[in-house]
Amino acid sequence: MSFRTVIFAALTVASALPAAAQEVGGMPLRGPMSQLEQIEQLRPGCPLSKTSVTVGVNKALGAHGQAQQNLLTANAGGCRPLVSTQVVAGVNLGLGPASSAGQNIQTYGPRGLLATTTYTHGYNLAAGPRSAAQQQLLNQIGR
């Protein structure tokens, strides 16, 4: 067997490997029938995946300054995707003397048919003398 033949054979095997991996890979199914039923609940026109990211930065820097921020992200339509991901992050800073910073972030989203992931993170700081910082983060998943 010539050297060229060996290389050709090796390339043929290497190119065949990924196809074999795809056949045995994929999402491990627990109770395949129930998960298939869940997948079949996906209504026509609804997305397979839905991701919502709501980020707010609010700051009151001056003396006696006031800063108020309200953010609302709501899911419209009533579609339930297979996978739903919601991220809420807020930074609220009352840095000026006697300043007031208020931040309110609300998110309403659908529950995924297969999986739902939420991430909520906030940083709230009242550093100025006699300052006040109030932060409300609400990351809600519907039924």
Partner 1 sequence: MSNPRSFAYVLILTAAACASASADTLRCRSVNGNITCSGSGAVSCQTVNGRTVCVGGHGDVVQSFGAGAPKPGAMQKIGPSDLEGGPDTPTNEGDLDEDTVPQSAKPQIFIDRRDSNGRTLLVERNGETLRLRTRHTTVTIDR
- CB distance 56 to 103 below 8 Å: yes
CB of 125 to partner 1, least distance (A): 5
Q: Which residues, 6+ apart, have CB-to-CB distance to 4 below 8 Å?
A: none
Cβ nearer to partner 1, comparing 11 with 64: 64
35 or 106, CB closer to partner 1? 106
CB of 65 to partner 1, least distance (A): 14
How many angstroms from the chain centroid is the CA of residue 85? 4
Task: Mark 41-64 as b/e (b = at least 16 C-beta within 10 Å).
Answer: ebeeebeeebebebebebbbeeee
State in angstroms the smallest separation of the CB of 47 from partner 1. 20
CB nearer to partner 1: give 9 or 138: 138
Residue ranges binding partner 1 (CB under 8 A) = 94, 104, 106, 111, 118, 120-143
Smallest distance from partner 1 to CB 5, Å:
59
Q: Say if CB 46 and CB 80 are below 8 A apart.
A: yes
42 vs 122, which CB is nearer to partner 1? 122
